[in-house]
Each structure stands twice: as C-alpha cells, then as structure tokens.
Structure 1
C-alpha cells in the first residue's frame, strides 16, 4: 500500500482508520493487535504499513479491556548493575515480542521483601505472566499467582521437587564440575567467594556442589575459607585479601560469580600475587570481560540463550492456553582458559 499525499491523515488515528487504510475489517486489525499469530501474512503486511503511515499507537488500557490481557510479561531480576542479566533479558524480550508481548523489568537488589512488593505491583497492573530468578521466596507468592491464573517460570535454577516450572540449570552440578577440574589439576586446599548462601539459593547450590565434590575425594572446605559478600568486584577484592592473608592459604579460589573473580584478579596485581602460578582462580557465568583478562578467566558458561528461549516458549504456550511440560534441565559448560594451573 502506498501513501497517498492527497490523503488527509488524522491527527489521532483510531483502529477504524487503520482498517480503512489497510482495506481490512476493524475486527482483523483488533486481532492483529491482540494476537498477531492468528492473522494471515498478507493482512499483517497491510496492517503494519497502515500503522506506520498513520503513526497509530494502540491504547494499552483499551487493549487490556477488550482482550482481558495486558500483553505484558513481568520480569524481576536480582540486579541490573552488571552485564549478567542484560543479554538474557534482550533475548527473552526479542522472543516474546514476536508474539505481541512486551516486558516490564524490575530489579530486586537481592532483597526478598522488595521482590515480593514488585510481584504484587506487577500483578496489580495485570501482567499476563512472570519470569523470576531463583526459588528463594515465600510460598504465598506462588499461591497468589496460581489463584490469579498467572503463568510463571523460574530461571537460573532447577526445582528438584518438581513443584515449579524452571528454565535453568543445576548450580550444584555446575559448581561440582569446576571443583573436579581443579582437583584433577592437583589442588587440595580451596577457598570460595560467593553471595549470601542463606538467602540466595543459587549461591547455596554452588557452595553445596563444591563441598560435595570435595567430600567425594575425602577433602573439605573449612568455614574460615568461605567468604560471603554482596555481589561486586570490590567485594571480590576484599574477600581475596582475606583469603590470601590466611596462614594456610588456599591454592585455588572458586568464585560464585565472575565479578568476584574479577575483583580477586585485580587485587592479586595489587598484592604481587601471580595467577595462576601462586593461586588459581575460577569464575561463574562467563560474562564478557572473562576472555579479555590477561590471563583470561577460567569460568563456567551458563546457558543464557537457551534459558531465554525456553522461558519465552513456555510462557507463550501457557498464555495460549496450552498445557506444556516444564523445560528440560540445561547443562553448564566449563570454559578452560588461563587462570588455573597445578599448585606449586
């Protein structure tokens, strides 16, 4: 459809204006706006061009009222301060946008009470579904979502009890993988830097995985060599200083997240400690900086593209009214680079 310069374009175009320009019915335009998948490709092209020419923006409240759907999916992540969740969010949003949905994103700052309030706020604004990170929250939240028939999916974890749908991986298995790798290099003295294992189930799973891996080879991880801190490079620096000041200091430090490993790496330069000659360091997540350090960081690559895809597919299927199986458990890949070596 070509724009006719002689046409007088309305200042505040309506759905009916779009229908007239596209030469389709108003009902077809409404279906396109609320559920693009049910409209033929030919009609889609005509409607999209009419919307572009008219600069038509659907009224969100009217759409929600007409369809009883907001076409919004709420996403709450623990932090937006680093790159960890950015790529995941972009992939997730790209996938759901093809189905006519958009995202509302909030950061809980690793605060359970804040997350609870954010969930209630999103529910009050009629989000159609929710994506959450981790399982560490009050069961009343799940009761609320089930009562209101709001589909949800949990990421970055798996639910061993099978009570909640998850698009994620086993933090315990992943952490055990990197502990096994370090023990195969000959390490027997370990330290660990991680988040709060009491409130963060991902951190707890990673701690459990390391301890179980060590115990299978008759080794242990003493409490005094476990440093729990808020997520951040500066906290990794602090924790590294503490660990390396011990009289019987570790030869390998397992970090529960890449920012902790970055902090340990930077602090080692300040202290004149050589990596990996004096101490081996590992990360978790394989964020963008890991491969650019000198030496580059050995870490675990979490399956963020697959998590985003499976989470989006699960929620969209649920929103279509389909009964679907929870996503499969994903694997985490050990990325061996240059920050690990056999102990001196």
Structure 2
C-alpha cells in the first residue's frame, strides 16, 4: 500500500504551532528563534516530512539555491572551498548548484545563464574576469553575486578574498631578505585569470624595489597541473647551471610541487641550491620533504564568508560588501639563504 504522505499541517499539529510558523521556518530560518527551529526540525525528521520545493519557490519567490561557478574541480583548493561552502549553506537550508568554466569567461557566462534559468537566488564567481553580458544578466535579474579569491574594495560589487598582489610581493620580498637576487617565477596562465596576473605584479614590484628584475628566461607560465609544472621547471633549468635562478616563486602549491620534483631530478639540493616558494598552503605542503614554504590562504573562510554574504543579502540583512582575509607567510624547509657564489653542487 502507498504510505500516507505527511503534510505541513501534520508538522504544525505535532509541534503545536501554526502552518505559517512552519512555512516561515522553512523559508527564512533566521526569522524564528533557535528553540522553535530545533523543535520544527525534530518534528520534520520524526514525521518524515519533505517540503515541496516548487510550492515554496512559488510562495516565497525563492528557490533557496545558490550557484557557484569555479574554473575547475581538478584543484584541491577549489574542492576544499566548495566543501566549506556547501557545509555552511546546508546549515542555512540552502542548496548548492555547482558548475565549471575552464577559465573561459564565455563558458562562465553560459553556465550562469543556465543557472539563472533554473531559479538560483544568488551566485558565487571566482575572480573578477567576467563578460559584460554576464554582469548585465545578473543586474537585470537582480541576482546578488560575490567574487571570491580577490579583494577589490574599489569595485561596486561584493568580493571576498586576499590581496593577491600584496601577498606575492611579501613572498618575493622574503626571498630577497634571505639574500636571493636571482629569482625566477613559474606562474599560472595569466590569460583570463586576474589572481595569477596580480601575483606576477606583486613579484615584479618586490624585485623592482630592490633594483632587481624578472628576467624573461626566468619567467614561465603553465597550467595548474603537475605535469605542466614539471615541464615549466625543466625549461627553467635547461640552460647551463650558472644561468639558473637561486629561488623560484610559484603561482600555487601544485606548481611548486612540480618544481620540487624537477629540482630533485636535476640533482639539486632544495633549499640550498634552489629555494622554492608556493602559494595557497594545501594540505600536502607541510608533509613533503622538504616541506614547502608558502603563502597560507584561509580557503574555508573565503568561501564560507561568500556564502554568508549571499544569505544575509537575500534575507534583507546588512552585509559588508567587501571582506579581506589575511594571507600569511608560512616558512618551512624549502627556502633558505643561497649558497655562496660558486658553491653549488649536485647531491
């Protein structure tokens, strides 16, 4: 026999409140007391009530769905951020709809249009390299959005992230303070990636302030993949040894892993022959040997705060338009003072 369906009236009767209270709790949990919310959640679980999402959307004009478009899922940093975001949204009664863009603004715009057609309430985007068509779409549909991974207090739309230029400047300055004057960079592809571009700018600024420059042969851009990073490091180390840099700033930790592997393949002693600096502070970075010196980005905080901004905005509460997170230097084993001139040796 088909089991009897449980309706909102059954839940209201069980808790001893009106159906309006149940509806208010489901559509706007922040509007009721935590004690009532707990009682209603317990009743829903006990009775097996499943709210009608379509009916709720019609009555509230909200689907309680947040969209997020990231460049790729093949990146541990994005995976961790999305996990933190989903955990937060779930507690707020929101569903996360995820898509990828492949670092292509046109693809991002198409995916956003698809999400809007499915009734998302808000959207989280990576960086600030968006098409004009996407910005017009979100404005015309009055869909709040927030850029993550960047901090742009001068822009009229929300951002949550670190100052990539300042963080990369700090990373390079640390190497200079150790005594390095021959510094190279294996960066991420800068096309359609404002985070990568800002990090390169930070490195160049630190070098310029100390009368140094980033030589063309010491600057390489690679995709965010280990194989490509190794190939980039191979190119960097293809010249005679006396022409190599003594330190390398990497666009992220994955690229740094590739540089470390290739340095080992060339028989270099890291950090004494070559210091390697990462960016992001992924979990593996502290377990490597040598462990990776890097810039720590509080990924969980970035994505959770982005979710908080949208949830507050959608509920009519005040939310700070911009939030800067602290990107800090984590010194480990992959950096040290350079060897004295002529002192390099293979292991």
On whether the aligned pair clears a TM of 0.5, the verdict is yes
**2:320 pairs with 1:320:** no
Runs of 4+, deviation exceeding 6 Å: none
**2:79 pairs with 1:86:** yes
SS at match of 2:81: helix
Counterpart selection for 2:206 from 210, 213, 218: 213
Q: 1:134, 1:202 within 8 Å by CA — same for their partners in 2?
A: yes
- The equivalent residue for 1:228 is 221
Correspondences of 1:69-148 after superposition (within 5 Å): 69-148=62-141
Deviations 1:190-234, CA, capped at 9 Å, x for gaps = 221122112211110000110011001110002222111111111
Change (3 A) 1:165 1:45: closer
Structure 1 position 134, deviation (Å): 0.3
Normalising to structure 1: TM-score of the pair? 0.93
Following the alignment from structure 2 to structure 1, what is the Cα–Cα distance between the partners of residues 187 and 94? 35
Change (3 A) 1:224 1:11: farther
Q: 1:195, 1:231 within 8 Å by CA — same for their partners in 2?
A: yes
Following the alignment from structure 2 to structure 1, what is the Cα–Cα distance between the partners of residues 103 and 266? 31
Q: 2:69, 2:126 within 8 Å by CA — same for their partners in 1?
A: yes
Identify the range of structure 1 (140-149 vs 236-245) with the bigger mean alpha-carbon deviation.
140-149
- The equivalent residue for 2:251 is 256
- Aligned residues between the structures: 337
Following the alignment from structure 1 to structure 2, what is the Cα–Cα distance between the partners of residues 138 and 49? 45
RMSD: 1.8
Deviations 1:286-315, CA, capped at 9 Å, x for gaps = 000000001100000012233234322221
Normalising to structure 2: TM-score of the pair? 0.92
Q: 1:310, 1:327 within 8 Å by CA — same for their partners in 2?
A: no
SS at match of 2:76: coil
Following the alignment from structure 1 to structure 2, what is the Cα–Cα distance between the partners of residues 137 and 38? 34
- The equivalent residue for 1:4 is none
Following the alignment from structure 1 to structure 2, what is the Cα–Cα distance between the partners of residues 40 and 188? 60
**2:273 pairs with 1:266:** no
Structure 1 position 323, deviation (Å): 4.7
- The equivalent residue for 2:30 is 37
Deviations 1:222-280, CA, capped at 9 Å, x for gaps = 22221111111111111111101123111111100110001111222222222112111
Q: 1:10, 1:54 within 8 Å by CA — same for their partners in 2?
A: no
Structure 1 position 92, deviation (Å): 2.2
Following the alignment from structure 2 to structure 1, what is the Cα–Cα distance between the partners of residues 21 and 2? 21
Q: 2:274, 2:338 within 8 Å by CA — same for their partners in 1?
A: yes
Counterpart selection for 1:283 from 278, 284, 303: 278
Q: Which runs of 5+ in 2 are unaligned?
A: 340-347
Q: Which runs of 5+ in 1 are unaligned?
A: 1-7
SS at match of 1:85: helix
Change (3 A) 1:301 1:48: same
Q: 2:28, 2:315 within 8 Å by CA — same for their partners in 1?
A: no
Following the alignment from structure 2 to structure 1, what is the Cα–Cα distance between the partners of residues 284 and 326? 22
SS at match of 1:235: helix
Deviations 1:63-117, CA, capped at 9 Å, x for gaps = 1111100101111111211321222222222333333222111222222222111
Following the alignment from structure 2 to structure 1, what is the Cα–Cα distance between the partners of residues 318 and 54? 28
